[in-house]
Structure 1
Amino acid sequence: MGPFEMVVAIVAITAIASILRARYGIRRNRHGDEVHVDDAENRRLRDEVKTLKDRVATLERITIEKENSLANEIERLRDR
């Protein structure tokens, strides 16, 4: 096996290993340690971030509007 074939074999093995790691949800952190990715946990965290962004947007809108609109906003949220 010549040097060219050896390089091709190493690249092929590395590519196959990367594909398998991606398929099974294995990632590496910045220290090089393997970390398994939990899709359910990611979805839960994304939903939580979306909810928090919505709440922050509501609070920003309340604080920007006039003083008497605070009571209107509270009533609107109660009616949900």
Structure 2
Amino acid sequence: MDITYIALMIPFAGIALGAFAVWTDHQRKVLDKQAEMSAEKAAQYAASNQKLEQRVRVLERIVTDKGFDLSMQIEDLRDDTQTKELN
């Protein structure tokens, strides 16, 4: 191996190592941002899921209530809807 070759490879190795460090730092930041976005989406899905579960509980209560007159309640809802549409 020629001394000139070694003398040229030392700076090249330093530059390559620096570039690799910048690239790995960038990749880490990208992964952190993706994890943050995934956590936000999971929180949104959890909130949406909780709202849906509450609505299902209300519907279950309505359907299983023995003293409940379903047709009267439906008519009351229709009357409310028609009244709101007229206003």
TM over 0.5: no
Task: Give the structure with higher Rg (CA).
Answer: 2
The TM-score normalised by the length of structure 2 is 0.37
Structure with the largest fraction of helix: 2
Structure with the largest fraction of strand: 1
